[in-house]
Structure 1
Amino acid sequence: MALDLEKIKEELEQDLARLEKELATVGHKNPDNPNDWEPQPEYNDPTPLPDRNDAADAIIDFEENTALLKDLEIQFNNVKRALKKIEDGTYGIDEVDGEPIPEERLLANHSARTKVENSDAVENNN
């Protein structure tokens, strides 16, 4: 069975749009580096919060946004990378050993960068 790259590309483009919307709920693009996202606090007023509990809640929300943003940004960049690989004709090639990634893996995760056995090498080097 051959991969339907047009269908995969379409699904990746939909994923990219969804991820960008999700990223915008917890962060914004870095004006100095449009490939980078920065977390944003839910409380954007420059005046200090008068209540310590409100201030603590704002800090917790910011920390949660930071963690969520990191995961979303990794997914977003992996999808962009997969789309570029389709364009370049290198989609489905393992980034670690250069061998083909099994179709089952690519169908399950269109933005997979490696075979399962090599995934730790890439995850630790994002």
Structure 2
Amino acid sequence: MDKKFIEAVSEKLNQAKADLEKQLGSFAQKSLKKEGDWDAKMPLYNGGIEEEADEVEEFAVRLSLGNTLEEELRKVNLALAKIKKGVYGICDKCGKPIAVGRLEAYPQADFCSKCQ
């Protein structure tokens, strides 16, 4: 893969990483227990049982969204690590190159379209 393309993808991935971390930071904090994990913050309401139910529901939504964003962040970090190792753009399953068009559309792709 050409150097200019890799630089552009790296920039795109670093921006995606910053955006994902910002989104996660709005309702979660980095885990002290496990590297790369985020813990959703429990919303705090001061009220009766109805507000407690809202609190639990909001926490469940935060937890689900957090898991989705964490997984996407993990993929972005993995793609950045592959760039550093010089193995970016290689399918994790079959070992063949991933199409440039696919990488342009989804830079953190780890499988070619055939293996997806």
Partner of 1:117: 114
Partner of 2:83: 86
Q: CA deviation at 1:117?
A: 3.3
From 85, 93, 113, the counterpart of 1:96: 93
The 5-angstrom pairing of residues 45-60 of structure 1 reads 49-60=46-57
Q: Which amino acid aligns with 1:64?
A: V
Aligned partners of 1:92 and 1:113 also within 8 Å: yes
The 5-angstrom pairing of residues 1-126 of structure 1 reads 2=2, 4-43=5-44, 49-119=46-116
Percent identical among aligned pairs is: 30
Distance in 1 of aligned mates of 2:21 and 2:112: 26
Partner of 1:122: none
Alignment coverage as a number of residue pairs: 115
Partner of 1:123: none
TM-score of the pair, normalised by structure 1: 0.84
Q: CA deviation at 1:40?
A: 1.4
TM-score of the pair, normalised by structure 2: 0.91
Q: Which amino acid aligns with 1:61?
A: E
Structure 1 spans left out of the alignment, 5+ residues: 120-126
User: Over aligned residues, Cα RMSD in angstroms?
Assistant: 1.6
For residues 10-30 of structure 1, the C-alpha deviation after alignment (integer angstroms, 9 at most, x for no partner) is 111111001000011121111
- SS of the aligned residue for 1:118 comes to coil
Distance in 2 of aligned mates of 1:20 and 1:106: 21
- SS of the aligned residue for 2:35 comes to strand
